[in-house]
């Protein structure tokens, strides 16, 4: 009776109710492991693993464990192996203003050109890195810095501004397309196991923009301290770009730095090459730093020690300097590549001093075909009638190369050759859209002689 009353009171009023046991927590669902994916090459036709030489191979992603495990056995016209071309370490081809062409045609397919260069056996492609000033320019825009318009107060304005008064180079504004062009060419060469040799500066073609009023920074001379800081910054960029694409920098410091034979600038020329040369040597090997000694020995005078075969030291020609010795003994072994121009014909090599160089302490001589000799030279003319290039024909080139090969046998020295296959080019008007523009047969002569 009492229990019945308790049950009724519990139902009606909640009295005398036993405690409700707690509801046990619901255990969490076990975590779903993330799906793992793998990428494998499969044959697009059979969906089986493709062979390395399958033309129909595609890189496809599969859930791990569900990827194909059987290799396709069908023959789908396998990709032929990459041809292996000869590579002559002492032979280079110089394509002059191909850099400017690549700059102005960013979508240009450079690979066929590099492949054709490789077929000649050339180990490197050498180019004029940049050149431009009003009056004598390959390309005013293909430069490491930007040209800008400024108003009368020196403020930058747009090209269509009515207040624009001057068009100047601004050394504080880098040109990203220049960097992209450098990397495109250098990587294309690297992919074909060739080097890209970059000309850092070009004397008379670059000097003018370092002369105010052509630059916004009011730098007045190429060899000024202010100019040197701008140049060092550019060199650091080039060295860094090479590092970023995984190649060893290969540079010519300056093209024809003493073109006008100005002995008054001997110290300037020597000191500049020492500073920029040392900077490059921090990032690359000594055999990949090159000097152009055309018209003057001063570009490399800080790096040579005993210059003459009789043991005399190269001295400054200026009496007021007390005929200061200009060499540094640590480089007396002459491992540097020192380039001379005008080496197109046999006479050109002789006139450029090859016999003197190879009978001295020099270990090698680098002859660049750029320019020619009065002896049987061939001359190409610009539309305005001026001389553009002087170079040998095929048979003259053969004679020159046979002469050099004989000198190597007789002296035990090394002769490096830089071919200048620009007969189809006018100064600043190189058209690289047609790979057949060059008489490539001339540049197969080196291969014939080397293997002969």
In angstroms, the CA 214 to CA 205 distance is 13
Residue 115 β-bridge partners: none
Task: Tell me the backbone φ, ψ of residue 38, rounded to 5 degrees.
Answer: -130, 150
In angstroms, the CA 422 to CA 430 distance is 8
pLDDT of residue 23: 75
The rounded Cα 252 to chain-centroid distance in angstroms is: 10
> Given CA atoms 317, 323, 327, 329 in this order, what sign does their dihedral have?
positive
146-176 CB burial, b ≥16 within 10 A, e <16 = bbbbbeeeeeebeeeeeebeeebbbbeeebe
324 CB neighbour count, 10 Å cutoff:
11
User: What 8-state DSSP symbol labels residue 21?
Assistant: P
DSSP string, 121-155: TEEEEEE------TTS-S-SSSSSEEEEEE-TTS-
The answer to whether the beta carbons of residues 156 and 180 sit under 8 Å apart is: no
pLDDT of residue 216: 93
Q: Is the pTM of this model over 0.85?
A: no
pLDDT of residue 175: 95
Strands (E) located in 320-449? 337-340, 364-368, 378-381, 387-391, 414-419
In angstroms, the CA 427 to CA 153 distance is 36
pLDDT of residue 375: 47
Q: Which two tokens stand for residue 352?
A: 């450029």
Q: Give the three-state DSSP class for 422.
A: coil
pLDDT of residue 328: 44
Residue 364 β-bridge partners: 414
Nearest to 73 by CA among 53, 101, 98, 91: 53
Nearest to 54 by CA among 71, 80, 82, 79: 79
Q: Give the three-state DSSP class for 252.
A: strand
Tens of pLDDT along the chain (452 residues)?
A: 556 655 655 655 555 566 666 777 777 777 777 778 788 888 888 888 887 667 777 888 888 888 888 888 776 665 566 778 889 999 999 988 889 889 989 999 999 999 999 999 999 999 987 765 555 555 677 899 999 999 999 899 998 999 998 889 999 999 999 999 999 999 999 999 999 999 999 887 888 889 888 899 999 999 999 999 999 999 999 999 999 999 999 999 998 887 555 556 777 887 888 889 889 989 998 788 888 877 665 555 555 444 444 455 555 655 566 555 554 444 444 556 778 888 888 888 887 778 767 776 667 788 888 765 444 444 444 444 444 456 777 888 899 999 999 999 998 888 999 988 765 445 556 678 888 877 788 888 998 998 86
ω before 9 within 30° of 0 (cis)? no
User: What 8-state DSSP symbol labels residue 67?
Assistant: S
In angstroms, the CA 332 to CA 76 distance is 60
């Amino acid at each position: 009776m009492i229990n019945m009353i308790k049950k009724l009171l519990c139902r009606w009023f909640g009295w005398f109710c036993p405690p409700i046991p707690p509801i046990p927590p619901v255990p969490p669902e076990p975590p779903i492991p993330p799906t793992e994916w793998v990428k494998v090459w499969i044959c697009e036709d059979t969906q089986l693993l493709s062979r390395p030489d399958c033309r129909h191979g595609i890189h496809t992603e599969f859930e791990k464990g569900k990827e194909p495990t059987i290799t396709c056995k069908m023959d789908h016209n396998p990709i032929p192996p990459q041809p292996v071309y000869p590579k002559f370490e002492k032979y280079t081809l110089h394509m002059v203003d191909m850099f400017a062409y690549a700059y102005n045609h960013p979508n240009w397919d450079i690979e066929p050109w590099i492949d054709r260069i490789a077929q000649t056996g050339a180990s490197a492609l050498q180019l004029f890195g940049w050149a431009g000033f009003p009056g004598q320019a390959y390309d005013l825009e293909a430069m490491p810095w930007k040209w800008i318009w400024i108003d009368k107060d020196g403020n930058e304005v747009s090209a269509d501004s009515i207040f624009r008064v001057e068009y100047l180079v601004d050394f504080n504004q880098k040109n990203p397309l220049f960097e992209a062009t450098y990397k495109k060419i250098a990587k294309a060469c690297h992919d074909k196991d060739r080097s890209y040799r970059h000309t850092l500066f070009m004397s008379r073609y670059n000097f003018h923009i370092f002369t105010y009023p052509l630059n916004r920074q009011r730098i007045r001379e190429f060899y000024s301290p202010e100019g040197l800081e701008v140049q060092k910054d550019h060199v650091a960029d080039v060295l860094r770009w090479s590092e970023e694409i995984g190649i060893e920098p290969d540079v010519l410091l300056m093209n024809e730095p003493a073109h006008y034979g100005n002995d008054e600038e001997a110290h300037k020329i020597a000191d500049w090459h020492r500073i920029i040369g040392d900077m490059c040597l921090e990032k690359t090997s000594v055999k990949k730093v090159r000097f152009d000694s055309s018209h003057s020995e001063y570009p490399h005078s800080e790096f040579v020690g005993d210059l003459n075969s009789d043991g005399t030291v190269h001295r400054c020609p200026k009496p007021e300097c007390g005929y200061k010795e200009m060499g540094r003994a640590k480089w007396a072994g002459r491992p540097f590549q020192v380039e001379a121009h005008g080496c197109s014909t046999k006479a050109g090599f002789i006139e450029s001093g090859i016999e003197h160089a190879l009978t001295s302490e020099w270990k090698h001589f680098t002859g660049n075909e750029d320019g020619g000799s009065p002896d049987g030279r061939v001359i190409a003319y610009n539309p305005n009638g001026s001389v553009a290039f002087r170079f040998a024909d095929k048979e003259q080139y053969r004679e020159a190369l046979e002469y050099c090969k004989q000198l190597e046998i007789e002296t035990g020295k090394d002769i490096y050759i830089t071919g200048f296959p620009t007969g189809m080019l006018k100064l600043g008007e190189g058209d690289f859209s047609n790979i057949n523009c060059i008489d490539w047969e001339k540049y197969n002569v080196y291969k014939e002689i080397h293997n002969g």
